[in-house]
Amino acid sequence: MPPRAGFEEQLKHIQDEVLLIGSLVEKTIHRSVQSLSDRNLELAQQVIADDDEIDVRQHELEEFCIDVIARQQPMAGDLRMIVTGLQVASELERIGDYAEGIAKISVRMGDQPPLKPLIDIPRMADISVNMLRRSLTALNARDDEIAREVWQDDDQVDQLNEQVFRELVTYMLQDPRNIERATLLIWVSHNLERVADRATNIAERVIYLSTGLIATEGQSWSDVGLDSDTDKNGGGSE
């Protein structure tokens, strides 16, 4: 097999493995929130156990990427692809940790009666997972337009997080007995807000991968690469 063909297979393996980890992470987010909504402790325990596979796959991919860099000494766009794979896998591992954290909260709450119907938290989960899925689609296609849309959607989750926080603080003020359960739900909301932030980080890496550009001071990532006269400091050349 020609050297370049073997290298292309290695690059494809990196991308395929990132997408596989992303798929596992998506499932853990949904299952963690479902375990909370349904008071399903068995499902919560499964989410906690499944996080080990995500951790192992992320570590193995990191070792693979380092080995490829050492052996192939890639340049420009190829090096950006490998480094992006490393960074995205790290983001996904952290998202898996947030899902595990939600599952642990579900276990801690056990069979306590729900403080309130869960409406905004499942919405946050749906939006965050959708952002994650689209950021990975953008990565697979190297589509910076999709990545920009993901970056802009982060505000929706931030607003819901603030709304959940205000509502739960009200429950605390009304009855001190609500403090523990309300605090736990605040942490769930916080974790989902961080999932969206990590999906946004992935979108930023896709924009960099696609354009070779980074956001300058005061510049929105959604504007990166749209101006042909943009300074390409830090982007490198193909």
> Does any domain span residue 225?
no
**Measured between alpha carbons, how far is residue 19 from residues 85, 120, 200 in Å?**
10, 28, 16
Is the CB of residue 196 less than 8 Å from the CB of residue 157?
yes
Query: How many C-alpha atoms does 46 have within 13 Å on its Cβ side?
Result: 15
Task: Kindly report, residue by residue over 46-57, the tens digit of the pLDDT.
Answer: 999 999 999 999
H helix runs in the chain, sequence order: 3-38, 41-72, 76-109, 120-141, 144-174, 179-211
pLDDT digits over 188-231, tens only? 999 999 999 999 999 999 998 988 877 776 677 767 777 644 44
What CATH number is given to the structural domain containing 98? 1.20.58.220
Q: Are 225 and 213 in contact (CB under 8 A)?
A: yes
In a domain, 1, yes or no: no
Domain of 42 in residue numbering reads as 7-216
pTM for this model (two decimals):
0.89
pLDDT in tens, 70-112: 998 888 889 999 999 999 999 999 999 999 999 999 999 988 8
| Structural domains of the chain, count | 1
39 in any annotated domain = yes
Whether 232 is in a domain gets the answer no
> Has residue 233 been placed in a domain?
no
Task: Let me know if residue 35 belongs to a domain.
Answer: yes
Q: Are 122 and 29 in contact, with CB atoms under 8 Å apart? A: no
Is 226 within a domain?
A: no
223 domain-assigned: no
